[in-house]
Every structure is written in C-alpha cells, then in structure tokens.
Structure 1
C-alpha cells in the first residue's frame, strides 16, 4: 500500500499535466458546444465554407503528396555534394512563420512578382495569388517538404539488399518500381495524404491573408469573422463544432488507413540504391532543382527585399518584437515543463490514457480553443487582458504533441537504461532531475523547446481573435500588409523569420551541447 502511494506521488506531476490538459481541451470544447446549441445558427454561406475547407484540403494534400514522390525518389537514389544540407533546408518551411512565407509567395507569385513578369513577357494571362489558388499554393508550399521527408523515409526503409537483388535479377526501372517502390508508396501515401489534409483543415493564417470572399473562406476564417466582426458567438461556436467534427473524422480515418509495409531487415548499409542513368538522371535533377527553387525562392525574395530596410522600422514594430519574444519564451517554457513531466510519466507507466491526453490538442484548432476560453472567461476578465496570456497558453498546448513525439522515445530509453540503477540508489526528486534526467534528455528537450518557441513566435492564430493595441510581431506584420506598407512589412518579415530561426537554433543547439 505504501509503495503504491509512493509511486502515485512520483507520477503526480505527469498525471496532473494530463488532467489539466483534458480539463482545458474538453472544457473549452464543452463551452463551445454549449454556446452553439446545435447547428441552427449556421447559414448557407457557412456551409459553403465547410465545403471549400474540405475541397481545398483534399486538393492541397493530393498535390503535396503527388509532387513529393518524384522529388523523394530523386533524393533517395542520387548522391551529390550538398545533398544533406539541401534536405535540411527543405525542412525550413515547417518552422517558418506562416505570414512570412505568405510574404515570400506574394513577392514571387504576386502581381509584380517574377512569375507574372515572365507570364506577361510571353503573352500569357496573369496568375492571381489571391483566392482558392493562392490558398492551395501556400498549403503546397508548407506541406511539400513534410511529404518529401516522409516519403524519403519510406524509400530508406527498403533495405539496400532488395535493390541489389533486383539488379542481379535484371530488373529494369519499371520492374523495380512495380515490385519495390510502388508497394512502399501504397503503404505510406495514404497516411501522408491524411496528415496534410488534417493540417490544411485547421489552417487559418493562409486563408486570412490569401483567401476571403464567398468563394475562398475556410471554416477557421468563418469562425474569425463571426467572432471578430459580427461578434456572433453562437455562430462562431457552431462553426467550431463543425471544425472539431472534421478534425476528428480525419484522425479516425488516418488510423483506419494506416498500413505497415514489411520488406524485412537488411545489413543497414549506408548507401542507398543507384539510380538509372540517361534521361531518368536528368529528370531526377529537374525534380530536385524545381523543388528547391519553389521552396527557397520565396524565402530568398523576402530576405532581399526586407533585410536592408530593418534599421528603418518604426518604433511600434520593435515594441511588438519584444512582446513576441517574451510571449514565445514563456510559451516554450510552459510547453517544455508540461512535455517533460508527461513524457517521464508515460515512459514509467506505459499508460495509454496519459499518452492520449498529450495528443488531445490535435482534436481542436487554436482558434476553436481561443473561442472556448473567451466564452468561459468573458464574464470575469476584460478581452484586452486575455490576449497575450491565452495566446501563450494555447501555443504551449498546441506544441505538446510535437514535443512528446521527440521526448517519449528518449524517456523510455532513459528508463530502460538507468531507471533501475537510479531506483536502487534512491535517487529521486530534484537530484534525479538534475543529475540524470536533464543531462540525458537535453537534446530532445532542447529540440522540442526550440520548436515550441519558433511556432509561438510566428503564430497569427489566437492573437488575431483578441487583436488589441498590443499586437505581437506577426499581427503587426499582417497590419502592415493590410495598410499596403509593403516596405515595412518586408523588413518586419525578415526580422520575424530571423528571430524564429534563432530561437529554434539556440534551444536545439543548447540541448545538444548540454
């Protein structure tokens, strides 16, 4: 009995975090459901927003997964100087602030961008970056790198010996694709498509900046409009219920469609398959070059336009910068503490319910949680007082699933390797945390903290609901864009991007050096 009480006491932090997460997520969702009182508040254009949300997410996911296949295949079977660096750089859009990427896409694909200049030179009509095509373009920009990395992992999961056996049997490229590559793709593509689909369902900033209008309004944008402009909480809550239902449906579907691909084990040889020569080699080079230009040119365009103008930024931008850094650090600290406590308890108890609690933030988008918290707190706190604390809290909570994916495996390894020794030495409390846990988990904890800080720094979700006279840097950037102060907006974008990457690098690098 005493040992059970002692074990419960040691696990109290993780259990408390799981309970608090469940209360926060489920409580806010319950508040949204209560305020909605069914779906009667929804009007015809709201249902059009639901249809557009599903349609654009499906199209964006299909394009992201489909375009990633030739690029991932080219990376898998080609070796060239700078390959590892290029693969790393292709992951930059994941932590790039969304509003900065939109600035880059406008610089390249906008009316005065390089693409439209080229189209006008050859007598072809202009491409508009606003509307549904802009929303899909931005979603592909953000999710193509993720799809490439996941499909590349699938290629690398095929043992090199299978490709060598195929060569010895005289397989041509078509035979290898049919017997090795296509079975792998059939296993990984549905999951990748659904992951991107879920991300695009809850995308707000892209629709806010590039969408709008009856033909390109997502559910998230409709929630914002109902909340911010109409102050129709019943309609905003009803739309929140629809968003939750869409997210839950996508999550359930992803679990049902997840399949395992078994190629057996190999000798873990370092070098992958050697790609065919001739025109296929040229096509691989074209695929890699096209992906690199598409993903890196918008970032480069923002840097070229904005970097020289940073010293001329107005005072209010620097105030917003300081505000954002403070909020990002607070949010990252909360996320790190919650993630560490929960990961250690999950590693010790192997409790599936605790792990499920850590994944609960995937059920609701930040905008839905912000709406729910406002409904719960509006009678007690002024809206201006809610903006920054709620933004910091929700950003910390939304970063938890990503942090747990990095920390749980490391915490389980720590428990298996050193747990019994630490228990035999009666090493508990702060001594165990300082001497064993933090040194051994420094690298994954630094990565997850840096990711949380970067995501919080660039967030333009919840803060847009509570827009006040104390904007964060992303909100200030959006306000500059709306005021057509594009010179200041470009400089602001470079500043935001630099700080986001710097925060991630500092925490990630610090964890690796600890």
Structure 2
C-alpha cells in the first residue's frame, strides 16, 4: 500500500486548492513574523530565561510522562480486570479535555486549598505550591501520561504471545523476559513517544498562562501573549514568535522522524498470559500502579464535576453568551477542518501536518501583523479564531482520513475510474459513504479541541467579547472560583457533547 500522499486522478484540483489554502494561511503569517522580526534589534539576552524555562519544562514533562507510563502500560498489558476497557478508553479523554478545565481540576486536588494540601495540613506538613515549574510539569504529565501509556501499550501488545509462551517454557525469570523481549520494544517505542510529547509541551500556552506566568515560569508562547496584551511591543512579539517557530518546527520534525505508528484501537483488549508475573507480589504491584494512575486521572475530573455542580447557580450571564460563541466557533472551525482535510487527504496529505511545526501563537502573531495596518484585528476576531482552530486540528483529521482514503482507492479506485466517476460524484458515491465513521470521529475531535482552545483568542478578543475558556479564565483571575467551576463544568459538558454528537453521527447506519 502506498505511503503518504497518493494521486487520485479525479481529485487533483480540489487537493491542490486545499494545499494552497493551508500553505497560505500558515506560511503567510510566518513570513510576516520573519519580516517584522528581521527589522528589529536581534539582541536576545533578556529572552534566554524564557527559552531556558520553555525547554526545561518540556524536557521534564516528556521524561516524567514516559517514565511513569512504562509501569502503567506494562500492568495493563498483562492484567485483565473488570473495567479495564473503560480505563483504556479513559486514557484518551485528556486529549479532548479542555485545558482550562483540567487545570481547574488539578487546582482542586493539588492547589493551596485542595485535597492534597488539606491532608498535608491535617498531618502537620507544610503545603505545596502548584504554581511555577512544578505546576506546569504536573499539568503536562496529566495530559500526556495517558498518551504515552497508549503508545507504549501498543508496543507491548505488538509482542507476539508465542514469545511469552516460549519464555515460560524456558523458565525465564522476569528480568530475563524484560531483557530479551520487553526492552528491545521499549528501545524502539520510547524515543518516538518522548519526542511527540516534547513537541506538544513546547507549544503549550494555557497551562503556562494559568499555572506559570511569573518571571521565572514564562514560556515563549506566554511571553508572546504578554508582549501583545500588556506592552503592545510588536517587535518583541515577532522576535519571540520566530524563536518559537524554530524550536517548535525542529521539535515537530524530530517527532515525525522518530515517532512510531499510533493505531489507537486495535489489540488493546487482548491480554497475553504472562507466566513470569503470576506471583502475588507482582500482582499487587501491578494493581497498585493501575489504581494510582486511575486516581491521578479520575480525581481531578471528579472534583471538576462536584465543584461545578455547586457553582452553576453562581455563573454570570456572560458565561452563557460566551458558551454560545464557543459553540459557534467550534461548529464553523469543524466544517473548515473537514473540507480541508478531505482535500489534502486526496492529493497533498503532507501539507496537513504543517500545523504541527507552527504553533497557534505564531500564526496568531503573524495574522495580527498582517491585519493591523489595514483593519482592526479585534473586529476580525471570529473568522481569525475559526481559521486558526481549524488549522490546528487539521493534522489529526488528515491522520485519520488519509489511511482510509488510501484503502478506498486501493479497493475501488480502478472500478470508479472505469465507471467514469469524477468530482462530486466520486465524493458522493465512493468516499463519503465509506468515510462516515472516520469523518465523524475527526469532526468530533476537531469540535472538542476548538471548544477548549485558549490560545489565539487571547490575542484578538476584546474586553466585551469572549469564548467560554477565556471567560472561565477571567473568572479565575477575579478569584470567582465557584463561578469558574460552574463554567468549567459547562465547558466540559459541551465539549463532550459535541464530540459524542459528531462521533455518534458518523456511526449511524454504519456496520460496526
């Protein structure tokens, strides 16, 4: 089967138009940033602390996420228990969970008045602080530990069961099984997992905005925002955006180079008998690891629900209007994402991954520089946010739709050519009926990601206009934590509802 983009002779024009649109919308702002930054003093002495913190938090987050995921994935790979499938499904939840909602849950558990510090105070121990480097890393581990676990679990499930049976027949000790079977797999999987997580953490904005922000805990993305909103120093913002482009682009290139294939569905329910781990001690250790991982994921979400229910009645009217704006943006950006993804998957799939190398804040900076001389950027906030959200979700949609389109062409392409199917007829009768399930999943993912976005909206939103994540952040900044908790519960519910609506819609009348 062909890899990468493939030539569908009847869909070239649509594919190249989509590629041109994506390249223009992503590379145009980059060029604007480069031109603006090239005209300023290139003295970077004052920014090295920001660059250093950005790299340190990304390295620590990637290392801890992968290191902690190894025992969790190992335990899940060799144990069967009630609720195992639900737990594995839950491992995908943080990816569509709005960042600001997760931060609120982490504050409820690890914050100064949270569950952990309350327990420490009862024991006479000094409270811990969630703000600064430790808070940023903790939040990133919360988001990326499940991702690392899923990647590593795929590696474990890829080891043939016959190898473990042979190891048992040879009476190999656990350390020998690890050395001969498990370590070679980990050696091939871990670098890719670590680089993917490092690239994601490098461009993180909302986590640093809420849990960092001090002079010693500022990432490049956050520094760009501060240069815009507080100083309106476009030259410094452009210089920082150029730095972020170099770092994020390099990290994304390395991640694509060393990343392992991630098929997040097949084989996750198959448990191979592991005779070397039948001992009671190993069973207890595996059980403890699974319980701790589940608590780490479930407890913050539970606190969001409990505190959110109590705060629903205290939400101001602005929350509901912000919710309407977020839903509108999510629906519009999802439509744009799906149209572009279908076009790119037909002809120019590689262009869909360009968004991995360019952070939303860099795109937002470039768009602001392009719009500002000719129009009021705040007046164009809605279309700009829709387009940026669509571009940021595009790599994931192309990743889902590309292999499916290749399979359809392999199976039915020659027949469609023989029947003269082209253009809309080919799309209507060949592609769309067979793409309903992946399209539903992709649309749900794009809608959920857009609902929870707290990035470029911070650059373009006026004081009297906000999305739901931004309104929630403003409530937190005003120390209206109960109202923020209610808004967080509403945001979580809407994000999950949109994901379910699209994903379920793609499965209706489709054979499993």
TM-score (norm 1): 0.93
Q: Which residue of 2 aligns with 1:371?
A: 365
- The normalised TM-score by structure 2 is 0.93
Name the counterpart of 2:4: none
| Cα deviation code 1:408-463 (max 9, x no counterpart) | 11001111111112222222233332222111001111111110000001100000
- Pair 1:174–1:419, CA change in 2 (3 A): same
2:446 alignment partner in structure 1: 452
**What's 2:264 paired with?**
none
Contact 1:187 1:258 in 2 (8 A): no
Contact 2:314 2:482 survives alignment (8 Å): no
What is residue 471 of structure 1 aligned with on the other side?
466
- Distance in 1 of aligned mates of 2:43 and 2:454: 25
Q: Hey, what does 1:502 align to over in structure 2?
A: 497
1:58-77 residue CA offsets vs partner (Å, 9 max, x unmatched): 00100000000000000000
CA RMSD of aligned residues (A): 1.9
- SS of the aligned residue for 1:130 comes to coil
CA offset digits 1:202-240 (Å, max 9, x no partner): 000000000011110000001100111111111111111
1:127, distance to aligned residue in structure 2 (A): 1.0
Deviation larger for 210-219 or 423-432: 423-432
Decide whether aligned partners of structure 1 residues 215 and 511 sit closer, same or farther in structure 2, where only a CA change above 3 A counts.
Answer: same
In structure 1, the residue matched to 2:331 is 329
**Structure 2: gaps of 5 or more residues:** 1-6, 262-266
Structure 1 residues 332-341 or 381-390, which shifts more?
A: 381-390
Using the TM superposition, give the Cα deviation of residue 510 of structure 1 relative to its aligned residue in structure 2, in angstroms.
0.8
Q: CA deviation at 1:356?
A: 2.3
Mapping 1:203-352, distance limit 5 Å: 203-255=204-256, 257=258, 270-274=270-274, 275-345=277-347
Q: Using the alignment, how far apart are the partners of 2:479 and 2:247 within structure 1?
A: 35
In 1, the alpha carbon distance for the partners of 2:271 and 2:23 equals: 45
Check the 8 A contact 1:340/1:445 in 2, yes or no.
no
| Structure-2 change in CA distance of 1:437 and 1:21 (3 Å) | same
Please list every run of at least 4 consecutive aligned residues from structure 1 whose deviation after the TM superposition is greater than 6 angstroms.
6-9
Q: Is the 8 A contact 1:72 1:149 kept in 2?
A: yes
Shift in Å, 1:244 = 1.0
State which drifts further: 422-431 or 364-373: 422-431
Instruction: Identify the residue that residue 490 of structure 1 maps to in structure 2.
Output: 485
Equivalent residue of 1:229, what SS?
helix
Rounded to whole Å, the distance in 1 between the matches of 2:188 and 2:352 is 26
Find the counterpart in structure 2 of residue 264 from structure 1.
none
Deviation at 1:344, TM superposition (A): 2.3
Q: Find the counterpart in structure 2 of residue 3 from structure 1.
A: none
Distance of 2:234 and 2:459 partners within structure 1 = 12
1:462 matched to 2:463 = no
Q: CA deviation at 1:122?
A: 1.8
Secondary structure at 1:80 match in 2: coil
